[in-house]
Chain A
Amino acid sequence: MLEDSVAIKELEIENLSEEQQQNVLDEYKMQIGEALAKNLSEEQLAEFESIINGDQAVIDSWLAGNRPDYLNDSRYQEIAEATSADNPENVTPDKVYATTAWLEVTNPDFSSVVESVKKNIKANISDFTG
């Protein structure tokens, strides 16, 4: 996973064992999710769950309401290109695109949240390693 590779470097945990790295990454993702959830309502989380579960009606509705021109978005086109074949688990471009766009719409400042969580985790790892 690209984000795991990036996170391992950013958190500077390359020298940890694979299992330890995975534990930190899991924690990292969980804390990010929890931090972002503070800005979300239960309805929004339910909506997100429907999207990641591939509920096409919710996906269509959300895209129509929030990204009506998504078919012309270069990101969508890239995703569609990447999902055009070998897709046994029905990971559709709509679903992937809607998932990413949903996060950006509901948490436009999500990158700074991630940054804050990252700092917190990094700082505590440093303390821990002395």
Chain B
Amino acid sequence: MVSREIPRNDSREKLADAERAVDKLKKEVDGQEAFGVFDEFIGPLPEGEIRYSDYAQAREGVYESEYDAKGEARAFPEGDGKFRDASTGQFASEPGDYDSNKYYNEKFENTADSEKSYEDMTLQELAKKWGENDRIDDQSTVAEILTVIDDKIREKSESMGWSKETLDLHYATLADIADRARSTEGGDNREANPGNVESREDIAIPEEVQEKLKGLRARLAEALAADDTAEEYSILEEMTKAINSIEGISDETRQKLLDGISIQEVVGAEVDSDVESDAKPSLEFVIGSVVTVERTSGDRENGWTVTDILTRSDGTVVYEVSRPDSESDGDLVKNVSAENLASWQSGPEAEAVDEDAVLEKIDISDLEDDLEKIDSANKWQGAIDRFRPSYWASRWNTSRFMKRQIHDEMTPEEQNKRKNRNRVLFFVGGVALGILATKGYDLIQDAMNSGVGADSLPTDIGTGTGAEAGGDLGVDTGVDFGADNGADIPLAPDRPDLSAQFNIAPGDGGIALFNRLGLTEAQWYEAQGDLISKFPSEFYQPDGMAVRINSSGPLSSEAQEYIRTRFNI
């Protein structure tokens, strides 16, 4: 497996600077013979070292170029304009040195090309390059790619405020991608894993299911980025249901698909519930912890890091652990004992899990396409954009409301006042929707999975300018919404109709329901015990797991009433 360790080395950055300098100079002498023309060429550079001679100043020693590179000149030109290596004494034109010159020449060219392309690449593309170069054992390029990955991840981490666990997830995902890229073309003898994409390429998934799974994967990516374990497993359950809903495929094919996401028995709620009793640690609490693993052989090994927690089909929890110096990176063990967690002093004797447990690992290979979404998955990040003056300026200038309620007979002051009022009201409406959308973050995903059936919608909506509706807060829509035109909007009824929010979509969990109702996750946990007690036909609770909703469709009116009364909604 490709190491997930991202090396950090200042000298690498300096090398990159130096190589940029070389690239620039090389372009200046494009078309000339590089080596042997000392006043037109800088170099060559031993790999991994920053050694440059000053441009057009041929002398041995420590130089500083007109760019940022600084260091001891190791190869330097002699009076006849030829390079001589400081350690070997060979001239560049001598046969023994020819190949190395050519190597450096090519290296500079490759560096110039790759540097530009690496910067422009997405993280998953970089990860693939990482794996491909690792496969051919080009560790210099690997290090270079890792530097770019590291920079990109660090930059995003800082801007997004990622936790260590989120960072680990990103690195782990990238490492998985790299690992697959590394093994794509020969040289890798890993056993086939049904969780890998490659093993599912021959399966024809109905288009609508593909779309649904694609949407779910995007949601999963966001949940992973948000460290929302409950949501992750809720989505995974939805994926299972989606796959199980496919008709006309063999059991074998279905199983392959299920193995692909490996979710049928992965239940995060179980882990969560264990946290409360301190019987087992939470996902967030343990991942990244250094632990001791005791194998069935009795050997105890220190220094392993927990990288994942999975639940097997029999309900037992297994831990994925890795150790940098171990070739068996990604081992699964049943139990681990912590060395440094006060609230998790020790665990039962550990034993190695048989290899088939690997099949239960959550396969994140399908998240490649969603990496960019992970990067931007922060519900408030999007919300913040609503508050940027530039956003509202653009929205306002392109909307029709600059003239709403503004009449020719108004004085300029009155018109300006009205414009400003319209602007504020427009903002109020946007903020209201933003709050609701952010609160009910799951809503968008639910909506995305619902059909519209509006193929026959006309195309001329919103093209008219409309007549003034009159009255300060009358509605001049500019869009023909009907005769009422908003004037008779019933405002703030005593009890709003929440039937739509109480309609449980397939795969919906309690948290999603409560979020949709404007309630919090904590309120769900507060109420779940009472809900299952009062409405056992509508809620159920697998052993040791969180309470779930029994079936899709509208919740009973009694249950709806209970929730509404309890939370005064």
Contact = CB atoms under 8 A, between A and B. Distances in A.
Contacts of A32: 428-429, 432-433
B481 A103 contact: no
A55 interface: no
B372 to A, nearest CB: 16
Contact of A13 (B382, B457, B482, B491): B457
Interface string B449-490: 010101111110110000000000101011111101010011
Contacts of B430: 3, 29, 33
Contacts of B448: 5, 9
A22 B400 CA distance: 11
Nearest to B458: A129
Contact of B490 (A23, A96, A116, A127): A116
Given A30-B404, A125-B461, A128-B458, A104 B481 contact: no
Interface string A60-103: 00000000000000000011011111110101000110011001
Nearest to A31: B486
B518 A85 contact: no
B159 A103 contact: no
Contacts of A38: 473, 491
A35 B493 CA distance: 13
B277 interface: no
Interface in B410-434: 420-422, 424-434
Given A23-B462, A127-B482, A39 B429 contact: no
B285 interface: no
Interface string A24-51: 1011111111111111000001001100
Given A2-B438, A36-B429, A82-B383, A31 B489 contact: yes
A15 B404 contact: no
B444 interface: yes
Contact of B161 (A1, A30, A81): A81
Contact of B444 (A6, A33, A129): A6
B440 interface: yes
A81 B455 CA distance: 41
Nearest to B447: A9
A128 B461 contact: yes
A39 B448 CA distance: 33
B433 A84 contact: no
B482 A123 contact: yes
Contacts of A120: 481, 484, 486, 489
Interface stretch (B61-69, B242-250, B384-392): B384-392
Contacts of B480: 124, 128
A86 to B, nearest CB: 5
A82 B161 contact: yes
A58 interface: no
Given A1-B386, A10-B447, A49-B420, A37 B425 contact: yes
Interface residues of B, number: 75
Contacts of A100: 431, 434-435
A24 B436 contact: no
Given A48-B428, A82-B378, A12 B420 contact: no
Contact of B493 (A24, A45, A110, A112): A112
Contacts of B382: 1-2
Question: In this complex, which of A12, A81, A120, A129 has the most chain B Cβ atoms within 10 angstroms of its Cβ?
Answer: A120
A119 B493 CA distance: 13
A89 B385 CA distance: 10
A92 B448 CA distance: 31
A2 B436 CA distance: 10
Given A20-B462, A124-B481, A86 B432 contact: no
Nearest to B493: A112
A3 B433 contact: yes
B492 interface: yes
B67 to A, nearest CB: 28
Contact of A24 (B380, B388, B461): B461
Given A48-B428, A103-B432, A125-B461, A6 B421 contact: no
A91 B489 contact: no
Contact of A6 (B443, B455, B479): B443
A111 B493 CA distance: 11
A89 B390 CA distance: 8
Contacts of B489: 31, 35, 116-117, 120
B518 A111 contact: yes
B59 interface: no
A127 B401 CA distance: 24
A6 B450 CA distance: 12
A26 B396 CA distance: 9
A87 to B, nearest CB: 8
Contacts of B490: 116
B159 A85 contact: yes
Contact of B491 (A82, A96, A116): A116
Nearest to B380: A82
B437 interface: yes
Contacts of A52: 387, 424, 427
B493 A116 contact: yes
Contacts of B518: 111
A87 B161 CA distance: 13
Interface of B: 158-161, 378-390, 395, 398-401, 404, 420-422, 424-438, 440-441, 443-444, 447-448, 450, 452, 454-459, 461-462, 473, 475, 477-482, 484, 486, 489-493, 496-497, 518
Given A23-B479, A33-B424, A39-B492, 4 more contacts: A12-B452, A35-B491, A111-B432, A116-B496
Interface of A: 1-7, 9-10, 12-17, 19-20, 22-24, 26-39, 45, 48-49, 52, 78-79, 81-87, 89, 91, 95-96, 99-100, 103-104, 107, 109-117, 120-121, 123-125, 127-130
* Pairs of residues from A and B, 9 with the lowest C-beta to C-beta distance, nearest first: A9-B447, A23-B462, A33-B425, A29-B429, A32-B429, A33-B429, A124-B481, A124-B482, A112-B496
28 contacts: A1-B434, A2-B437, A3-B436, A6-B436, A6-B447, A9-B448, A10-B443, A14-B452, A20-B459, A23-B479, A26-B395, A27-B481, A31-B477, A32-B432, A33-B432, A37-B473, A48-B427, A52-B424, A79-B383, A79-B384, A84-B161, A85-B158, A95-B387, A113-B492, A114-B432, A120-B481, A124-B481, A129-B458
